[in-house]
Structure 1
Amino acid sequence: MILAIAPSPSLDVTYVVEELVEGGHVRPLEVHRVAGGKAINAARAARALGAEVRVVAPLGGTSGAFIAEELAHAGIALHAVPTGPTRTCVSVFARVDGTMTEIYEQAPPIADAWAGMLTAIGAELATAGPVHVLLSGSVPPTGAPDPLGDVARLVAQAGARWAVDTHGEALRRAMELAPEIVKVNKAEAAEALGADGDARALALALHERTRGVAIVTDGPAGVVAVDGEHAIRALLPGVRGGFPVGSGDTMLGTLVASLDAGEPLEGALAVATAAATANALVPGAAVYREDDLRRLRALVELSPA
């Protein structure tokens, strides 16, 4: 079972237009709305792979109600904690040149909801049995001095395993808390480590800091995973999509779901790489077609990093 902690949920809207002209007027050709924010995206991707998934999230307003409805429709159990209106994030894809423009609201503070979040997380962990905890996205102001430490203590008390995908100060703090998995992109890893290097060097450095599985993505150059025994590169050459929003979240969700199902790291990394690419082929974050996933999984190249 996977418990996704979503401190910064959002209603994600993707507009597909023919051409986006600055200062102009345009009507979208397609509109896609999904429950979003990185952790919820990852949860949806994991559920699509067949995992049992539960979400703890602060939600409010009409956007929060939409997210709750969407998660229920996807078969994802939700423990919602009341807060102010949930944000909206907009992506605009222009067909004429294949560009994506993203307009993301800042995640609002959740100081009014943090105590309730911790209570909900503790309750879910107490009843779930063996579980992977997934914490993804930015951590907005909570009013607590050490919110990640709060979560880490609950995870440790429950004997659960946890995976993290965040950035900046939250990532630096997470590295001190021994997560089982850290999944970040190359720029996020370099910033947190205060070091340059390729994806392999950064993954090795992350592993040395956390002693867990360190995964660093590098766009078309693939992804590197390092654990105590292996350094593996996964690459899917020659396949690009126009809708990359949510691909990193899809990778995390499907990776954790595969590991939760008993897959070895190599197999989980291959599935996650295929799913992340499949996400980029269709509009909507952490949305992919099963046929694309099966087709692309056969094309993933694994090699020692």
Structure 2
Amino acid sequence: MITVAGISPSLDITYRVDDFQLGEIHRPTDVLRCAGGKSLNMARAARRIGAEVHLVGIFGGGTGAWLVEALKADGISVDAVDVPTETRTCVSIASASSGVMTEVYENAPTFDEATWSALVGELGRDLANRPGWLSISGSAPSGLPDTALADLVRLGADAGVKVAVDTHSAALPAAVAAHPALVKVNRSEAATLLGVPADGDLVAMAQQVHADSGALVVLTDGADGAVATDGTTTVRATLEQVRGSYPVGSGDSFLGGLVTELDRGADLSVALTTAMAFGTANALEPGPALFDSERVHELSAAVRITEA
């Protein structure tokens, strides 16, 4: 089972246009709307290969109500903490001529301690009956202390579940210090966490984050793949000659595939293979975590796992 903390949801809208030009009027050739934000993308990706996924999230207004129904339509059960503030909207504009994606993302709204306490309480009640994993991804809503996500890590550990963390900025050091079972971040986020140059040795970064946290550590490196270590085994995953034009949600899809396989008892190489296939499949299709599940099988066969 996978439980997801929906801490910063959004309505994600992707417009596809022939040729995006600043200052011009555009008529999209296609429009995609879906429940978005890192945690919701991760939940949908995991569900696409049959994971049992439950999400506890903060939703507001008509937009929030639409997101809840969209998640349920995707087969994800939801416990919603209602707030008066309208859930944000994030827009991506994909230009066919250039292959460039332009993104306009609203900041997550500010929530008070009472709202956060309601989320934590609901999450704690659900985890009492849901073994497996708790996934925490994205940034905490503004107005909360930097330790807010670390508190969720400890909440999961106290409930006896494994916790996966994918966050950044000031929330990341505290979350890592709370000793989650899995830390999945990208090269830049790992470098910031460790205070080292972003162009440094990714294997050394992964091993240092493991030494600091005791967690399984997976560091993604964009089109160059990923490195993972559990302290005993360190491997690198690559998928050559496959590039996509829609990167939004690829890291979230990667996490969805990774946690789903770990929840099923797969070893590190199998989990990393599926994660790579998920992230790449996402980049080939517009809209976060709306990839073709059949394409995942083809891509998995092309993933290369080597000792690092």
Structure 1 length-normalised TM: 0.97
State the partner residue of 1:50. 50
Superposed CA deviations along residues 96-131 of structure 1, whole A, max 9, x for unmatched, are 010000111001112242111011111111121x22
Counterpart check, 1:266 vs 2:269 = yes
Residue 201 of structure 1 deviates from its aligned partner by: 1.7
In structure 2, what is the equivalent of residue 121 of structure 1? 123
Q: Which amino acid aligns with 2:55?
A: V
Equivalent pair of 1:9/1:86 in contact (CA under 8 Å): yes
Kept in 1, the 8 Å contact 2:16–2:96? The answer is yes
Unmatched 5+ stretches in structure 2? none
Determine whether 1:297 maps to 2:286: no
The answer to whether the aligner puts 1:220 opposite 2:223 as a matched pair is yes
Contact 2:216–2:229 (CA under 8 A) maintained in structure 1: yes
Name the residue aligned to 1:247.
250
Corresponding residue of 2:140: 139
Q: What SS is found at the alignment partner of 1:20?
A: coil
Matched-pair contact (CA < 8 Å) for 1:114–1:142: no
Shift of 1:156: 2.0
Segments of 4+ moved more than 6 angstroms: none
- One-letter identity of the residue aligned with 2:208: A
Which residue is equivalent to 1:188? 189
1:70 maps to a residue whose letter is A
Contact 2:227 2:234 in 1 (8 A): yes
CA contact (8 A) 2:146 2:174 kept: no
What letter matches 2:227 in structure 1?
V
Do the aligned partners of residues 71 and 282 (structure 1) sit closer, same or farther apart at CA in structure 2, a change above 3 Å counting? same
Amino acid paired to 2:301: A
Give the C-alpha shift of residue 193 in structure 1.
1.1
Q: Note the aligned Cα RMSD (angstroms).
A: 1.1
Give 1:141 deviation, angstroms.
2.5
Q: Is the 8 A contact 1:38 1:246 kept in 2?
A: yes
Unaligned runs of 5+ residues in structure 1 are none
Q: TM-score, normalised by structure 2?
A: 0.96
1:199 maps to 202
The alpha carbon displacement at 1:177 in A equals 0.5
Q: CA deviation at 1:143?
A: 4.1
1:170 aligns with 2:171: yes
Amino-acid identity (%): 45
Q: By how many angstroms is 1:72 displaced?
A: 0.6
Q: Deviation per CA, 1:184-227, whole angstroms, max 9, x where unpaired?
A: 11011111111121221211111111111111111121100011
